[in-house]
Amino acid sequence: MQVEAESMTGWSVERGFSGGPVFDHHSEAVTGIVVLRDDHRSGHMLPISYLRTIWEVVRRSCGWRLDLDPHLPTHWLPRARGSEVDTDTGEWYFTGRVEARRAIRDWLTHPAPAEHPLLLVTGGPGSGKSALVSHALLAADARLSATVPTPGPRPPTGAFDAALHLKGLTGDEVAARLAEALGTTANEPNELLAAVAALPPDTSFTVLVDALEEAASVDEARRIAVLLRQVAGTGRLRVLVAARTAPPGSGQARVLGAFGPSTPRIDLDTQPYLHHADVADYVASRLRGRRPSYAGTGGGTWDLHAIGRAVARRAGHNFLIAQLVSGWLIQPGTAPPDPSAPAWEEQFPETVGQAMENYLSACGPDPEAVRRLLTALAFAQGDGLPRGRTWLLMADSLSHGLMHTPADLDNVFRSAAHYLIERNDDQAGHTTYRLYHEAIDQHLRDECRHRNPQRAITDALTTAVPGPDGQREWDLADAYTRAHLAGHAAAAGQLDVLLDDTGYLVHALPAPLTAALSSATSTQGRLTARVYRTSLYRHRQATPAQRCWTLAFDAARHRAPTLHRRFEALLDRLPSHQVPRWRPLFAAGQAPHPGTVAVIGQAAGAVAAGAVAGRPVALVAGPRAVRVWDLEEQYQVAELPTDGTIAATAAAIGHVDGRDLAVVGSDSWIGVWDLAERRRIGRLEPIGGKVTQLAFARCDGRTVVLGAAFNDQPAGVWDLATGRMIGRLAEATGPGLATADLHGRKVAVTLGTYSKGMQVWDLAEHRLLRRLADDRTQISAFHVGHQDGRAVVLVALAGDYRTGAPGVAEVWDLATGEVLTRLPLPQDGRVSDVALTSVRGRSTALTVSGRDKTVRIWDVREGVEAARLTGHSGQPYRVVTTQADERTFAVTQDLRETALVWDLTELHAPGTPAGEESCDIRTADVGELDGREVVVATSSDDQIVRMWDVASGQQTARLTGHADRHRQGLSAIAIRSWHGDTLAVTSAANEAVRVWDLARRRQTARLDVRLVSEIVLGDVGGRPTALLRGDQGLVHVWDVTAGRETGVLGVARGPRDEEKRSHTIVLDTEWGRVSAHKAARLAMLPCGLRTLALIGPTGVARAPVQVWDVTERRQIGRLDCDGLSALAVGECDSRPVAITCALDGSVRIWDLLRLGETGWLTPHPGGTTAVAITELDGRAHAVTGGNDQMVRVWDLTTRSTVEEFWVPEWVRDIRVSVRGTILVMFGGSTTVFAVRSGRR
């Protein structure tokens, strides 16, 4: 980094100061060291952020420090002392807990940290979890351990590298804070896991985590638990977690369940950790230190040990009750107990509630006012409430008309109640307050007299925001309201009302809002929640304006016009400098299905699904790695490197001996990974062919892996421990395989050669038990599952093409072969895969039919279709499922290497999800008709030309007439206006080109050219002319109005020289694979008195772009680019120019008058796949799109980017109108983006 003297120029660092510190007065810290100066006398420095990554001393010195942790005075220190807050007395009341302290010390000093990287400290409310771990934290700190007077076992000095107090935090916030402690950066769990995986293998980092149950929500707590288990599983971090126990089946119990049964625990509610003497000594020490009369002065000597023992007996080992009782006893208005009085012990409470009531009675002259204000604090979420207006508003809302003033708040902090409150200071300097224990929160909430407290709070916070309903100025709302209003609304059953306010969606904090979205119940509310979740990963770091733009885009994609218009109106109200110039107007083509959770690209190989640490995950194979996706949170959590560049062809997930494992294989290798540690733990002997199916099984006391393969190889069985093949299933020579439990034995279900016949094998003896189908039965796919408590197999039986008999899916009893259910399969589609699962407790089947690009959902018990999944732009061919809590997820994969994740609990009836026609758009164009912009598009599903009005987003026409007998859809389209008439020209793969008059909605001409893959319209000699790229590399020139061919450009080539179909091949540098797609490679523009045509190479040809004079039908030059992925022409500074996007990644600008290169544009990462040129504000602009899913707008004069925005998938093509409207094609969809009014 360059260093300059403030407000000075020309100053430099003197020689001899290399290594000197650079001190920043604003942050009051050293921010780097001086390293050198250059020839211009400028000084330079290495920042601390870099030094800490390479210099261990700096990392240790600049990492997390307990004495600088903002939670030290508000949480760690008072908990370690056994007091309510950090008072000036410095008294330590912590006593006992010797066995638990010894267990923590032993875990910290264990010589093999990888064996037990995670330790849980559990117990009920008030059991002393926080006090125990806080005491260990301070006792281990090099700077503070000397202040800890408690004798007994101590952890080693420096044992903890960081500590986190989780109250009110989300998973993303925990990931960010852990990353900061590690000296790295992460905004969400997957980024943290990637950062941890990048740490050196010998990294040793121990973190303490307290109050897991007090995270932002139960779901967030579970997410955090999974994250902690995952980071501990990397072998680089050790984690000590304190968490509350809960009844079985509760949400908190599921949180603890995420750690797995094998994680060691210190349960403070069990022996040997229960000691009445610890509680008694704690009470006595607090009384002795806080009230002189108890110590024997002024009022005689009291038997403090007798009082302590009495409180301990009543409290039943509960330190929170003991703390509250001792706090009550030391208040001035409380008389000391008399052990000689009859039944004197009964005055002491037995529950937290009773103790709290006694304590409140001693809180100042108006204890009821104190109770009301503390009750408001008990309902606070997150880090708590600021001291001021919001706190008072919440208290007023819960008090049936009673009003509270700042003076009332002052009384709370002057009374004994302030001991119950802890303060939290964030890094921005904001202070909030909350009650120091969740059990106190719960008691006050339970005792609240308001009938619907959460609704009262919701209404009060909403009303406090300026403006009328629907137009409130949420940017003026306080930070607490923006963060937590959704949580209160969800608890009140009012979330649907809040989601109706688009302003709140834009300004709310994404993490707590997302946690509340599952509470939406109305149709509109659930739609809004789906729209919000669609691009959730973009909301987290977005500004309100960016978030509004994204929500408008996703509303258009979901065909939610009312919601889209409301986000558009909100964009109008936002400051103009914050809002992108181009807005999403409408989307057409494949709409996101209501059940779609996420889209996973580059799914080139095997896909598997299962549970890892209680989370639903999918394995998605690519050429060099298998990615692990969290299906619920929509992010990649890990990447498993594989052998070679060919994608894995089979994968499976299994839970083995307390570990979550994955087995992945291809034609020459099979590997086993530990998913928690993200490392390969073994290899299996090759099977001798391409692996098609893998599975785990447990039999005869050992874990085995089963695998099926092609090439007539019998299925193999491996011992997981040794990696050796221990047997084969002789007749199992087909590609399918599954395992099941049948009458107490583990069995395998397999197919015969060419998927004919089905067998059941005893895995222990590798013996054939029975044949469910003979070798005359053709089985398309099968899946083993359960129905009504018995093992069954769902089988898709192929139809008979000779007789026309359709296929059928049947559910067979695995033990008897009895047919239990029949499901009718589509007449015209072969089923490529099936799955059997449970959705909301009902047995559910999924069948994949590639031809109509749908996945059908069946109610197995009723034998009827229950729903249909649509949205794939390619033909789906695979489906896998998994479950998490009450949600069932499916992952479907198509031939375009895209995987879609579905939440099957969001099912719709058969048909189009959004109630509007959905189609797979192949290509589209934008133009003008009667003064209004229109979009025309063709589909790969049918032979219909569709037209939409851009301003309204309404479909205005469907043109039919193409009659390709192969029904492969339409392949190309172009639109242009001549002399008041707007014409569209379309082509089918095996049929003549058609010309359409869009105003009259009719066909006007038929051009007899076949196999046309690209169409360009323009003027040649004043005549409307079409360039049609046909087969053999020829471009046909047609007079559109006359309907006749006027010439041919190019030299005919044989099929060996060039593909008959013109496809562009783009190298995806990230995954090292080649993918085919269509984009503009043909262009035409006027150039003086002549018209030029640019003809780009097709296929993977490393050939130049040919430049032709269309009038004279001769080639006049070429542009020497290295192959072509996209091409565009236009004018810049009154000169004709072309932009070429080459296969080598370059984006070049060419002057067509001198046929020379004049400049370049920065390419998109992974390759630029589409380009267009237009004029805006009198200046030439280019629009590019790429594999990075970004669209950029460039000023061609300055070669600079003036705007960029994202789309959900890589950009297939781009068209731009004369008004600057941008049409972007991606996947099977297209979206129109227009310049906002007044900013053209």
Cβ neighbours of residue 569 under 8 Å, at least 6 residues apart? none
Measured distance CA(350)–CA(332) in Å, rounded: 23
101 lies in the same domain as 234: yes
- Report angle CA 1142, 1146, 1147 to the nearest 5 degrees: 85
| DSSP assignments along 581-609, one per residue | SEEEEEEEESPPPTTEEEEE----S-EEE
Say if 1058 falls within a structural domain. Answer: no
Q: Give yes or no for residue 141 having a pLDDT over 60.
A: yes
Q: How far apart are CA 1013 and CA 1143, in angstroms?
A: 20
pLDDT at 918: 66
Tell me, what's the pLDDT at 871? 72
CATH of the domain at 207: 3.40.50.300
Determine the structural domain holding residue 260 and report its residue range.
66-267
Average pLDDT of the segment spanning 839-843 = 87
Q: Are residues 79 and 135 in the same domain?
A: yes
- Phi, psi at 751, each rounded to 5°: -115, 160
- Does residue 651 register a pLDDT over 50? yes
Q: Is residue 55 part of a domain?
A: yes
Among residues of the chain, what percentage have pLDDT more than 70?
Answer: 90
Name, in order, each residue with C-beta under 8 angstroms of 670's C-beta and a sequence gap of 6 or more.
663, 664, 683, 684, 685, 686, 687, 691, 694, 705, 707, 718
Angstrom distance (rounded) from CA 347 to CA 310? 10
HSE, CB side, 13 Å, CA atoms: give it for residue 400: 5
Distance between CA atoms of residues 447 and 436, nearest Å: 18
Query: Of 78-82, 239-243, 595-599, 1170-1174, where does mean pLDDT reach its minimum?
Result: 595-599
Q: Looking at residue 557, what DSSP letter applies?
A: H
**What CA–CA distance (Å, rounded) separates 387 from 411?**
12
Q: Could you report the per-residue pLDDT of 315-371, keeping only the tens digit for each?
A: 888 888 888 888 888 877 777 788 888 888 888 988 888 888 888 888 878 999 999
**Whether residue 1066 has pLDDT greater than 80:** no
Helix (H, G, I), strand (E, B) or coil at 1157: strand
C-alpha 932/C-alpha 975 separation (Å) is 14
One domain for residues 247 and 99: yes
Closest CA to 1227 of 874, 709, 991, 700: 874
Does the pLDDT value for residue 1076 go beyond 80? no
Burial (CB < 10 A; 0-12, 13-18, 19+), residue 648, is buried
Average pLDDT value for residue range 54-82? 84
Between CA 218 and CA 230 the distance in angstroms is: 18
Sequence-distant contacts of 734-737: CB under 8 A, at least 24 apart: 734/708, 735/692, 735/693, 735/708, 735/709, 735/710, 736/692, 736/693, 736/708, 736/779, 736/781, 736/782, 737/692, 737/693, 737/694, 737/695, 737/706, 737/707, 737/708
Of the candidates 853, 852, 856, the residue with the CA atom closest to the CA atom of residue 844: 856
H helices of 91-247, in order, are 98-108, 129-140, 171-182, 189-197, 218-233
pLDDT tens for each residue of 920-947: 788 999 999 999 999 999 887 788 999 9
pLDDT for the residue numbered 1237: 56
Is there a single domain that holds both residue 248 and residue 148?
yes
Query: Which pLDDT value is given to residue 142?
Result: 92
Confidence of residue 1100 (pLDDT cuts 50, 70, 90): low
- Does residue 622 sit in the same domain as residue 720? yes
> Residue 762 has what pLDDT?
93
Query: Position of tokens 């309907």?
Result: 1043
Cβ neighbours for 892, distance < 8 A, ≥ 6 positions apart:
848, 855, 869, 872, 876, 878, 879, 899, 900, 902
Q: Is the pLDDT of residue 883 over 80?
A: yes
Whether 1095 and 1049 have beta carbons less than 8 Å apart is answered as: yes
Q: Which tops the pLDDT comparison, 808 or 783?
A: 783
Q: 687 and 565, same structural domain?
A: no
Partners of 1028 in the beta sheet?
Answer: 1015, 1036
Please check whether residue 814 lies inside any domain of the structure. Answer: no
550 lies in the same domain as 637? no
Whether the predicted pLDDT of 1062 surpasses 70: no
| pLDDT above 70: residue 1078 | no
Could you read off the pLDDT of 217-242 as tens digits, one per residue? 787 888 899 889 888 877 789 999 99
On average, the pLDDT of the chain sits at 85
Supply 1047's token pair: 């010439």
User: Could you tell me if 510 and 620 lie in one domain?
Assistant: no
d(CA 563, CA 501): 10
Same-domain pairing of 148 and 225: yes
SS3 613: coil
pLDDT digits (tens, 9 = 90+) for 476-504: 999 999 999 999 999 999 999 999 999 99
Tokens of 992: 């003549």
Residue 632 lies in a domain: yes
What string of H, E and C letters represents the secondary structure of 1066-1130? Answer: EEECCCCEEEEECCCCEEEEEECCEEEEEECCCECCCCCEEEEECCCCEEEEEECCCCCCEEEEE
For residues 136 and 18, state if they share a domain. no
Overall pTM > 0.85: no
pLDDT value at 86 more than 50: no
Tokens of 1015: 């169409």
Domain edge (last residue) among 237, 267, 297:
267
Model confidence at 1009: pLDDT above 60: yes
Which phi and psi (to 5°) does residue 463 adopt? -65, -30
Residues 6+ apart with CB under 8 A from 315: 279, 321, 322, 325, 348, 349, 350, 355
**Quick check: 979 pLDDT over 70?**
yes
What secondary structure, in 3-state letters, does 297-326 show? Answer: CCCCCCCHHHHHHHHHHHHCCCHHHHHHHH
Q: Is residue 890 part of a domain?
A: no
Q: Compute the distance between CA of residue 736 and CA of residue 733 in angstroms, rounded to an integer.
A: 9
* 3-state secondary structure labels for all residues of 51-105: HHHHCHHHHHHHCCCHHHCCCHHHHHHHHHHCCCCCCCCCCCCCCCCHHHHHHHH
Contact 1012, 1028 (CB under 8 A): yes
pLDDT digit string (tens) for 787-799?
888 899 999 988 7
What are the structure tokens assigned to 132, written together? 């125990």
668 in a structural domain? yes
Element (H, E) at 900: strand 899-903
When pLDDT is cut at 50, 70 and 90, the band that residue 804 belongs to is: low
Name the least confident of 465-469, 559-563, 995-999. Answer: 465-469
Rounded Cα–Cα distance for residues 897 and 602 (Å): 5
Q: Measuring CA to CA, which residue among 1182, 1175, 1187 is closest to residue 1227?
A: 1187
Contact criterion met (CB below 8 Å) for 780 and 797:
yes
Nearest to 992 by CA among 1045, 939, 1033, 1041: 1045
CA–CA gap between residue 893 and residue 1180 (Å, rounded)? 41
- Integer Cα distance of 114 and 116 in angstroms: 6
Q: Name the domain count of the chain.
A: 6
Identify the DSSP state of 714. Answer: P
Distance, in Å, from the CA atom of 350 to the CA atom of 1098, rounded to the nearest integer, reads 83
pLDDT for the residue 669: 86
Predicted confidence at residue 426, as pLDDT, reads 67
**If we measure between CA atoms, which residue out of 412, 433, 431 comes closest to residue 422?**
433
- What is the predicted pLDDT for the residue at 331? 79
Reported as a single tens digit per residue, the pLDDT across 280-296 is: 998 888 888 665 555 44
Q: Of 450, 476, 495, at which residue does a domain stop?
A: 450
- Residue 932 inside a domain? The answer is no
Number of H helices and number of E strands within the chain? Answer: 26, 68
Using a 10 angstrom Cβ sphere, with 0-12 exposed, 13-18 middle and 19 or more buried, the burial of residue 468 is exposed
* Structure tokens that stand for 1010 in this block: 């076949």
| Domain containing residue 678: CATH number | 2.130.10.10
Place of tokens 């007395």: 89
Q: Compute the Cα dihedral for 1012, 1017, 1018, 1022 and give only its sign.
A: positive
For residue 916, being part of any structural domain is answered with: no
- The runs of H, that is alpha helices, within 244-302 are 251-257, 276-290
Q: Strands across the sheet with 1126-1132, in order?
A: 1126-1132, 1135-1141, 1147-1151, 1156-1161
Q: What is the pLDDT of residues 147-203, one digit of tens each?
A: 999 899 999 999 999 999 998 888 888 999 999 888 888 888 878 887 887 788 778
Residues 75 and 155 occupy one common structural domain? yes
Please write the tens of the pLDDT for every residue from 658-685.
788 999 998 878 999 988 777 888 899 8
Q: Which of 683, 712, 727 is the last residue of a domain?
A: 727
Strands 715-719 and 725-729: antiparallel
Residues 418 and 492 in one domain: no
